[in-house]
Amino acid sequence: MSIKQAKSSSVSTQKQRVAVVFPGQGSQTVSMLSDMLPVYSEVEQTFRQASERLGFDLWDICQDESRLSMTQYTQPALLTASMAIWRILENHTQIEPMLLAGHSLGEYSALCAAGTLSLEDAVMLVYQRGQFMQSAVEGIETKMAAVLGLEDNQVSVVCEQVMSANDDAIVSAANFNSPGQVVVAGNVVGVDALIEQVQGMGKKVVPLKVSVPSHCVLMKPAGAALAESLKEVEFNFPKIPVIQNYGAKVYKTSQEIKAALIEQVSEPVQWRQTMEALAQKHVNMLVECGAGNVLSNLSKRQQTPITSYPTDKLARLEKLMEVLS
């Protein structure tokens, strides 16, 4: 083998080290996947299948900003969009990911892509999950915010200080997204106090427009309700390993996978740790399968950046297909 051939072979081998990641809440946009609808039948088929299970028109909801922003609709809409794109990739490319992962809600998309959950079970679970999350904080003023420029442990210390100083304050880290970006969640009293303290340290905090404070102690009732729903659902052995948010680990048995989903509701999303796990597995190509490009942008900020390809637009999807071919 010549040096040129050896280099070509090496590159070819590297290109096969692919991971697919699935976005979570906040990635949705009105009319998402509309440019793919006339080109790929998988879009209409997937949304029809999900709508039949839910009993309402999910595609119609995606055209209505007010309904799409409601947690119980956002979650099945995003999962269905992700699965439509996943089916396009499965049917029209030779994609063979080593690993899958999803950010928060996206974990259900990853489990669905792995064959652990059927589409029908997955959309119903996340629809219920959204309802449980909304009900858990009914009558409570809540808030989420992104803290920029502090290390993970620094944010956790500030949260503890805020709650120690005020018995009414609830605030904790909700998403460890990337080095220097941690999302916090809690009640308004707690998050506002944290914002004031972080700004006093000379760092930036960006309030987030969300309807529920995901991944904090306020979601404990939602986790308990979800546990009951999960008892009724059959989980299959994953065909592709899925790194789950809770513990940033791959779980194999249905009991372990379900337990991690329950914990995930009220525990922080360990996305930075998930990306580190992918880097340790020498993944060098990331496919963001779903709406938006939030995870692709986060990939650039990780300790070991991985080249990422979003798929939220037809042009981006077709660019990825060229790379995969």
Catalytic center residues: 104, 215
Tokens coding 305: 């950046």
Cα dist from 214 to 4, 220, 268, whole Å: 51, 10, 8
Nearest CA to 101 among 232, 257, 275?
275
Which run of H or of E encompasses 124?
Answer: helix 119-136
Q: How far apart are CA 137 and CA 153, in angstroms?
A: 27
Residue 105: count other Cβ atoms within 10 Å of its Cβ: 29
In contact, 203 and 148? CB cutoff 8 Å: yes
In contact, 238 and 108? CB cutoff 8 Å: no
**Residue located via tokens 């740790």:** 273
Pairing type for strands 171-178 and 181-187 reads antiparallel
Tokens coding 223: 């986790």
